[in-house]
């Protein structure tokens, strides 16, 4: 990918997330026209309105040079990873999660286990569980969710019950027209 412009807050660079670890609070972005990895700190990601980002997601960032190397100064855009380029690992035993669902509704993450590839949330005002599969997170540009985290979800009814078809962080959904 190409570096697009330069400005006071660094160069605008398009690349892909190499990895991001929410427990460590950072990850790295690679871009074909930038030598070396670009540090992506959790605070920079939070300023964009996300607490995690999926491996392989396409990102447009402002990159700056520091005494410690290249790092993202701000995130301008995130697009989901291409499933063909970045397989999510072993095939899921869950049925394919549809991409449609109802309107965005507020929910709270009950738990999510990235290694298992799924978790649950509860819509505000309801104790009914809503299943969240890791494929939905990746499609939504997220990589992980934390217990108690406020999210906005679209819900559909599948073969095994209620499941999320889209997940976004609540802060980023407030301004959405969805």
- The answer, yes or no, to whether residue 88 has pLDDT greater than 50, is no
- The answer, yes or no, to whether residue 86 has pLDDT greater than 70, is no
- The answer, yes or no, to whether residue 1 has pLDDT greater than 80, is no
4-44 per-position pLDDT tens digit: 445 567 899 999 999 988 888 899 999 988 899 999 999 99
Q: Is 137 helix (H, G, I), strand (E, B) or coil?
A: helix
Domains and CATH numbers, the chain: 3-79 (2.40.50.140), 105-174 (2.40.50.140)
In 10 A of CB 132, how many CB atoms?
28
Average pLDDT of span 42-55 = 88
3-state DSSP helix/strand/coil % of the chain, to nearest 5: 10, 45, 45
In 10 A of CB 87, how many CB atoms?
10
The tally of CA atoms less than 13 A away on the side-chain side of residue 13 is: 26
The predicted pLDDT at position 99 comes to: 63
Q: Could you tell me which residue, 112 or 173, shows the higher pLDDT?
A: 112
Q: Could you tell me which residue, 144 or 177, shows the higher pLDDT?
A: 144
- The answer, yes or no, to whether residue 94 has pLDDT greater than 50, is no
> Could you tell me the two tokens for 74?
């701000």
């Amino acid at each position: 990918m190409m570096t697009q412009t330069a400005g006071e807050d660094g160069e605008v660079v398009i690349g892909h997330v190499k990895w991001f670890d929410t427990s460590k609070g950072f990850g790295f972005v690679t871009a074909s026209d930038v030598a070396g990895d670009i540090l992506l700190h959790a605070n920079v990601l939070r300023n964009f309105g996300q607490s995690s980002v999926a491996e392989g997601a396409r990102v447009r960032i402002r990159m700056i040079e520091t005494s410690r190397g290249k790092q993202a100064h701000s995130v301008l855009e995130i697009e989901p990873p291409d499933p063909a380029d970045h397989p999510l690992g072993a095939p899921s035993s869950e049925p394919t999660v549809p991409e449609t669902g109802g309107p965005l509704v507020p929910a709270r993450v009950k738990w999510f286990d990235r290694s298992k590839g799924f978790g649950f949330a509860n819509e505000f005002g309801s104790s009914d569980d809503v299943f969240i599969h890791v494929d939905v997170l990746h499609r939504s540009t997220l990589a992980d969710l934390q217990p108690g985290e406020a999210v906005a979800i679209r819900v559909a009814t599948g073969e095994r019950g209620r499941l999320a078809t889209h997940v976004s962080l609540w802060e980023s959904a407030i301004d959405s027209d969805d």
